[in-house]
Structure 1
Amino acid sequence: MDISVKIKKAETNGNLIIGLNSVMVAVRQGNLSDVILSSNCPGNIRDDVTYTAKLSKVPVADFDGDSSDLGEICRKPFNISVLGLSEKKA
């Protein structure tokens, strides 16, 4: 399934977790099915999220657009670098 379709489906169901801190907590708790990083996500954040997700066996996907494109797909008026798709409504 295309990443954009997954994001839109999760957004309509209320299953999006936005932001580094919230995503990291959810990854550690095992509440995410996917983590999505924007193409311009800073390297240190990308490394931290990827490492933590790998330990928790959560797949990490790279979004083709930058953080403003990711924010637009999520219908938010701000940039999003790190996004989590929750397994159930948070």
Structure 2
Amino acid sequence: MVSVVNSAGRPVAGASVMFTQAPVAVPDVAGLTGTDGRFVLGAPAPGRYRIGVRAGEAWREHEVAVEAGGAASIEVTIQLSGEINDGPKPG
């Protein structure tokens, strides 16, 4: 499962998620994250994969290893256009 969050840790809905590199042939398609910022991308074989995430103009890639019969979960933080990389908010 891929979880996409912004720099404040909030889910990013509608981000495109795709394989950019894989140990076997994979379809050249992308899926979109739901309102919870998550998308399940099925790896067809064990090995190392690069996952690309696009939200607006922002782009990130993340590498993940998938073992036979296993599953991997990653969280990708992406800074959206116009978003300030802010620290703790005043209470």
Question: Into which bin does the TM-score normalised by the smaller protein fall?
Answer: under 0.3
Which is helix-richer, 1 or 2? Answer: 1
TM-score using structure 1 length: 0.26
Which structure is higher in RCO with an 8 Å CA cutoff and minimum separation 6? Answer: 1
TM-score using structure 2 length: 0.26
Q: Determine which structure has more spread, i.e. the larger CA radius of gyration.
A: 2
Which is strand-richer, 1 or 2? Answer: 2
